[in-house]
Homo-oligomer: A and B are copies of this chain.
Amino acid sequence: MTQNSTVTGRASNKSNGKRPPGRPRSEHSRQAILRSTLKLLRQQGFPDLSIEAVAADANVSKATVYRWWPNRGALVADAFLESAEQELQFPHTGSVRSDMSRQMRRLIRVFRSSRGKVVAALLGGGQSDPELLEAFRERFLWPRRRQAYQTLQRGIDRGELPADTDLDLLLDSLYGPIYFRFLIRHDELTEKFADKICGVVLKNCGPA
């Protein structure tokens, strides 16, 4: 199998720089497929997304989709993750609390946008497809977590946080409520919510 999707691994070509013979993969088709996947996912949700519909919308043959992605999950994961690769950076304001609250506000903004539906589809589908959930964690969650660690560490260095702070616990306390409201939808998810959470969790950690 020559699966070349980002999910299944194998980023670029074989180690030598030479291009193999034969017609190269159509970058145009690849992007059209990912774009149509996002588009349909915004409308229909994960379970109702059919490969047939994606192929039709992208003006592409079904076989082309099946050639490059082993299943629907890998396709959806690639579509979302490639679109969110360079997003949601952490600011450097000089205060942990405002660094965090500002980034949390950005996340909420994404969740409220049309991209939110895609994230929900990804996490919803992930509840019955471990690979889908793992792709979300590895490609979306952890990269941001690593940045968050650094942000919190700066707070420790500045004395705003105790040196023995449990960083994972703290991050789950900050982001858990956001994901909670986002996924359960029992209460509205406004950007102000970010500040309120920080008020609860980072009470004694410098200025708001």
Interface residues of A (CB under 8 A from B): 44-48, 120-121, 123-129, 133, 136-137, 141-142, 166, 168-170, 172-173, 175-181, 183-187, 193, 196-197, 200-201, 203
Contact = CB atoms under 8 A, between A and B. Distances in A.
Interface of A is mostly: helix
Contacts of A203: 203
A124 B121 contact: no
A124 B133 CA distance: 11
Given A120-B127, A177-B173, A137 B184 contact: yes
A172 B166 contact: no
A48 B179 contact: no
Copies in the complex: 2
A128 B47 contact: yes
Nearest to A45: B128
B173 A201 contact: yes
A127 to B, nearest CB: 3
A201 B129 CA distance: 33
A86 to B, nearest CB: 21
Contact of A124 (B44, B127, B179, B186): B127
A181 B120 CA distance: 16
Contacts of A173: 173, 176-177, 197, 200-201
A183 B186 contact: no
Contacts of A186: 137, 141-142
Nearest to A142: B186
